[in-house]
Amino acid sequence: MAAEHKIVHVEGRELKLSNLDKVLWPDGKITKAEVIKYYAEVGPYMIPFIRDRPIMAVRYPNGIQGDSFVQKHFTGLPRWVRRPDAKSTKMRDFILCNDLSTLVWLANLAALEINQMLARSPHLTKHDIVLIDLDPHFPATFEDARNIARGLADLLQRLQLDFLVKTSGAEGIHFFVPIEPRYSVEKIRRFVAAIGKLVEKAAPKLATVSPHARRKVGRVYVDFLQNSLERTITAPFSIRARAGAPVSFPVTMRELNDPKLNPGMFTVRTATKQIRAARRSLYLSELSQDLKPALLKLGLK
């Protein structure tokens, strides 16, 4: 893929890839061609998570040191790119990334970061993922988030909930808990807040569920407010526009318990060789759990 322009066929569809030699990460000399190749390789693992979920992309046409912009509303689409079945007019211009050809098309737009919603079309008001976002605030670190994540994983296991844990690609850690799409967002948010209160009680100097800025300083914030209608989160396997081209990557419990774990371990150039958690990830992408038993255990009617 060294040529400046190239015609490729993906799933029987013709795509014209452009500016393939453009360097998007100056320090590592990572090119647009490498980004497209990465998404093409992880697509079979990534697409089951983002299928039927409206997408928000962050585009960097001149690389991570240039201007970027968020794109939710897309126009001038190839005829095969699908849109969500949405009652909300502001949602109708979003797109779905349901196949490899669409993912490669997005990568060719220099859409480095792919963010997904927590609900699937057409049921966009009923989330089928509970998100528990562990966000360390300076001087708290990724290592602090990892330690909180270990306790959180134990708590979820005691609640008999299966989950996916992944690096955010930055300093945070995300938990995806797949559920049946029948609970209100308010109920889900109360559930995550209750989880956060237990985490805070266990480690009050290291974790907080309070959204107030002064409480977050030096602590890992359990962000329950991310569970909101039409809000998006970094998709599994998405690239992050940061030094070294890290990616948001699923990890096993063994990896989570390893003090050597760090977000820089998974990058555009290494992640496709580190797909160890992929089979479990694919299983979790199709899992649907009843949240009611866990709600009752936490005293939430």
CA distance 195 to 213: 20
The answer to whether the CB of 46 falls within 8 A of the CB of 236 is yes
CA atoms within 13 A on the CB side of 296: 5
CA distance 64 to 60: 6
For the segment 284-296, what is each residue's pLDDT rounded down to a tens digit?
Answer: 888 999 999 999 9
CA distance 90 to 108: 25
Which residue has tokens 């737009």? Answer: 109
pLDDT score at 292: 96
CB neighbours of residue 290 within 10 Å: 12
CA atoms within 13 A on the CB side of 173: 28
CA distance 239 to 216: 26
E strands present in 100-245 = 111-117, 129-136, 164-167, 173-178, 207-208, 220-223, 232-234
Query: Quick one: three-class SS letters along 212-273?
Result: CHHHHCCCEEEEHHHCCCCCEEECCCCECCCCCCEECCEECHHHHCCCCCCHHHCECCCHHH
pLDDT score at 277: 65
Close Cβ partners of 196 (under 8 Å, ≥ 6 residues apart)? 132, 207, 208, 209, 222, 224
Using DSSP's 3-state secondary structure scheme, residue 115 falls into strand
Closest CA to 227 of 110, 126, 81: 126
CA distance 202 to 216: 16
For the segment 212-243, what is each residue's pLDDT rounded down to a tens digit?
Answer: 999 999 999 999 999 999 899 999 999 999 99
- All residue ranges of the chain with pLDDT < 50 are 1-2
